[in-house]
Structure 1
Amino acid sequence: MNGRTIAAAALGQFKTARLAYLRLRGRTPDDVAEQRVASGASWDEFCDTLKSAGAALVFPGTPTDPLTQAEGYRYLSRLTRAGLEAFVEYADPTAPVLRRMVHETVKMGSDNPDNHYLNATIDGTLEYRITGTRGTVDYLGFGTQEGHYGEGGQMPTTGYVEAADLEIGSDGRFELVLSATEHSGNWLPMTPATGLLIVRQTFADRSTEVPADLRIELLDGSSAPGPLTAAALDAGLGKASLLVAGASLLFAKWARDFQKHTNELPMFDPERSTKAGGDPNIIYYHSYWRLGPDEVLVIDSEIPECDGWNFQLDNHWMESLDYRHHTVHVNKHTATYRPDGTVRIVVAHRDPGTDNWIDTTGHECGAMTFRWIRATTHPQPRTRVVSMSALSQLD
């Protein structure tokens, strides 16, 4: 099943729902939702869309080895869990909750191992306030966005602000207002179409840094979520299943396209990145890697003046590899630098006995990402594949 088949299936589901609505014309949308839930149509369409998401596992360019396929099905299950939490459990913008949607066991879109992500469902026609303490985490950014990965991969940023630009008290406390109309003091812009808040906390050293302690509330006072309604469940199941199908297909396409420059690190289009939900202050180098049993990938780069940088390995599904138990990334703080200030990173299946070794954790291929955060320049990382025995002979 390809992307056109998925689209056709989704269109068929829409037509079915539309016909049902026409048969019930004259009734309210809540009445229609109640009928769909009571008849099982909402659940059936949710399950059908999840089933269609399996097309990502046979998308052109997808490896068929047991590890990649097993991770692929686990990936779909993780996206399902993320979608249900986002659109069913925490979907009420009048009772917002900052929570971790992407973390150690839910990953997507080359999630950054150095990041502690927080998300909240919001409504751009309302106004919110974030309060808390700054902590000591190296980088803290707040972004508002439209859409989600189930809506064609478009998540344009509607506002962005960093902690470095905020007024913060000597005790580390601050307030940040989110609104579509300009607000005095610390302000994070939204538009009426805004629906998502993303907070990125980027660690340089997780072992010593303290993350920000944050909470969000409506400016006129957040309330506890009301009783579940059929309309909310119907909408939530639909959005959750579209997230699974949409995100898996989007990143399957990216992984296929990245294979055109395997073992290289070209700069990713910044405009495309921002539209897909990337941090507007980061320049990304997305690509694909593939190594034989005795091959290593050597990455050399100059390091510009910047707030931070890192390099990471992903699997084919653009999930970061297991950074809890393996060294799969390196950053500005953890890297060992060469005498001239440059950095050499070595990607290998086993420890080559060099600095900055990145472990492939049993994978033969996958995606990879290099990031510059607020860099004054953007040097092009240089790559080459050599044998393990030839590694020690390099300059």
Structure 2
Amino acid sequence: MAADTPSTIVDIDAWEAFCDELKAAGQQIIRPEAPRDELSRAEGWRYLTRLTRIALDMFMECSDRDFPSFYRPSHETAKIGADNPDNHYLRAEINGKHDYRISGSRGTVAYLGFIAIAGGYEEADGNMRSVGAIDTHSGLEVNPDGSIDVILSQTPQAGNWLKITDDTVAVLVRETYLDRSTEIFADLKISRLETGSAKPAPLSGQKLKTDLASTAAFVKGTASLFADWAKGFKEHPNTLPPADQAYCQKLGGDPNIFYYHSYFNLADDEALLIEVDDVPECDNWNFQLNNYWMESLEYRYVQIHVNKHTAKYRADGGVSIVVSGSDPKCKNWLDTTGHREGTMAFRWIGANRIVHPRCKVVKLTELAKELTQ
């Protein structure tokens, strides 16, 4: 058997370059505008480890586009860009030049959507563009037995068809709950339709180098992108202005969602009161609290978000949400979990019209009076 040559051996330089890029990502955590308190700083370092876990799945473990598989790109312990606590996310890496089928059970989640993605946070422009979408809001067909089939191709197909393009790199699935405790998420699998190799190719040295580089680039690019977002949000604290919707779509946003992103900054004796007096007809709406790094706060054990189903409504049909660090003993209170500042997000999902929420900072001692007005 021929001996390995230098061109076929994976040199330590590839590993050292990977480690150097991860080290450089740490500069995002010590940016001058970022909070310097112990909690925010500790969560920042943990955030980088979480991004690394996500990226290793994305580029090292699930990157064979001839044999795609779904993985969770954001979940309870790995979070990106104001991840929605009401969502169960799935993603699979694909090649837009091939055709694929997604099949499985529909489940009972309130909203199920598929988006074909081009680009990613690891690229220079940081864009993760949507090139096609199909969802339950726009007529996703469900078989009588509760199963679904979706064809991904460049050529239109009968039934559920998700358009893809030459530069498509992935399909992202959003399954949105109204109540996680009672609803069943969709059970899906994906496969390439054309006949290809019978089994995956062994890992090559060049692929290993490429995947390591992409992993590190994703961590660095994602951390930088959302640190930039948080910096901008600080300029309008304790308000909820509409986000740039076109920009949200360039970064992988759902076309059925109208987004608001902002920043909370509250003293210990203050609360942020968020009110919507006229709730439009919609598939869902929700509001959530995030840390500075735009990770949703701990929603498994703490009430840090509220949605259409879980909210307690006022007698007039409107809704009031209260954000504070201590429990004011009122409806729809969200716990900042020790954070005096952080980011926040509001979404209308499939709304027939858009109603902007109102925000007001009030003293905790005055909150009861505000809620009765």
Q: Into which bin does the TM-score normalised by the smaller protein fall? A: over 0.9
Q: How does 1:367-378 map to 2 (within 5 A)?
A: 367-378=343-354
Q: How does 1:39-188 map to 2 (within 5 A)?
A: 39-151=11-123, 152-164=125-137, 165-188=139-162
- Partners of 1:378 and 1:157 lie apart in 2 by 22
Q: CA deviation at 1:312?
A: 0.1
Q: CA deviation at 1:41?
A: 1.7
- Partners of 1:274 and 1:308 lie apart in 2 by 19
Q: Which residue of 1 aligns with 2:163?
A: 189
Q: Which residue of 2 aligns with 1:199?
A: 173
Higher mean C-alpha deviation, range 57-66 or range 152-161: 57-66
Residue 266 of structure 1: which of 218, 241, 249 is its match? 241
Cα RMSD (Å): 1.3
- Partners of 1:34 and 1:234 lie apart in 2 by 11
Confirm or deny: 8 A CA contact 2:98 2:194 kept in the other structure: no
Check 1:275–1:337 CA distance in 2 against 1; reply closer, same or farther (3 A cut).
Answer: same
Q: CA deviation at 1:220?
A: 2.6
Aligned partner letter, 1:278: G
Confirm or deny: 8 A CA contact 1:88 1:232 kept in the other structure: no
Residue 306 of structure 1: which of 262, 269, 282 is its match? 282
Aligned partner letter, 2:360: R
Confirm or deny: 8 A CA contact 1:60 1:256 kept in the other structure: no
- Partners of 1:190 and 1:197 lie apart in 2 by 9
Confirm or deny: 8 A CA contact 1:290 1:365 kept in the other structure: yes
Check 1:88–1:285 CA distance in 2 against 1; reply closer, same or farther (3 A cut).
Answer: same
**Residues paired across the two proteins, number:** 363
Q: Do structure 1's residue 365 and structure 2's residue 341 form an aligned pair?
A: yes
Check 1:353–1:185 CA distance in 2 against 1; reply closer, same or farther (3 A cut).
Answer: same
Q: Which residue of 1 aligns with 2:269?
A: 294
What secondary structure does 2:322 align onto? strand
Length-normalised TM-score, structure 2:
0.95
Q: CA deviation at 1:174?
A: 1.9
- Partners of 2:286 and 2:7 lie apart in 1 by 46
Aligned partner letter, 2:160: N
Unaligned runs of 5+ in 2: none
Q: CA deviation at 1:282?
A: 0.3
Higher mean C-alpha deviation, range 340-349 or range 179-188: 179-188
- Partners of 2:178 and 2:358 lie apart in 1 by 23
Aligned partner letter, 1:62: A
Confirm or deny: 8 A CA contact 2:57 2:71 kept in the other structure: no
Aligned partner letter, 1:169: N
Length-normalised TM-score, structure 1:
0.90
- Partners of 2:8 and 2:261 lie apart in 1 by 45
Confirm or deny: 8 A CA contact 1:282 1:373 kept in the other structure: yes
Confirm or deny: 8 A CA contact 1:33 1:231 kept in the other structure: no
1:234-288 Cα shifts (integer Å, max 9, x gaps): 1110110001100000000000000011000000011000001111110100000
Q: How does 1:281-360 map to 2 (within 5 A)?
A: 281-301=256-276, 302-360=278-336
Check 1:256–1:43 CA distance in 2 against 1; reply closer, same or farther (3 A cut).
Answer: same
Confirm or deny: 8 A CA contact 1:135 1:211 kept in the other structure: yes
Q: CA deviation at 1:33?
A: 6.8
- Partners of 1:55 and 1:168 lie apart in 2 by 47
Aligned partner letter, 2:127: Q
Check 1:326–1:303 CA distance in 2 against 1; reply closer, same or farther (3 A cut).
Answer: same
Confirm or deny: 8 A CA contact 2:93 2:170 kept in the other structure: yes
Q: CA deviation at 1:224?
A: 4.1
Check 1:387–1:33 CA distance in 2 against 1; reply closer, same or farther (3 A cut).
Answer: farther
- Partners of 1:320 and 1:304 lie apart in 2 by 25
Q: CA deviation at 1:82?
A: 0.8
Aligned partner letter, 1:303: V
Q: Which residue of 1 aligns with 2:203?
A: 228
Tell me the percent identity: 49
What secondary structure does 2:361 align onto? strand
Q: CA deviation at 1:379?
A: 0.9
Q: CA deviation at 1:57?
A: 1.0
- Partners of 1:67 and 1:135 lie apart in 2 by 38
- Partners of 1:125 and 1:42 lie apart in 2 by 29
Q: CA deviation at 1:135?
A: 1.0
Q: CA deviation at 1:230?
A: 1.0
Check 1:32–1:357 CA distance in 2 against 1; reply closer, same or farther (3 A cut).
Answer: farther
- Partners of 2:8 and 2:267 lie apart in 1 by 56
Unaligned runs of 5+ in 1: 1-30
Q: CA deviation at 1:34?
A: 3.5
Confirm or deny: 8 A CA contact 1:94 1:122 kept in the other structure: yes
Q: CA deviation at 1:166?
A: 2.1
Q: Which residue of 2 aligns with 1:26?
A: none
- Partners of 2:312 and 2:146 lie apart in 1 by 31
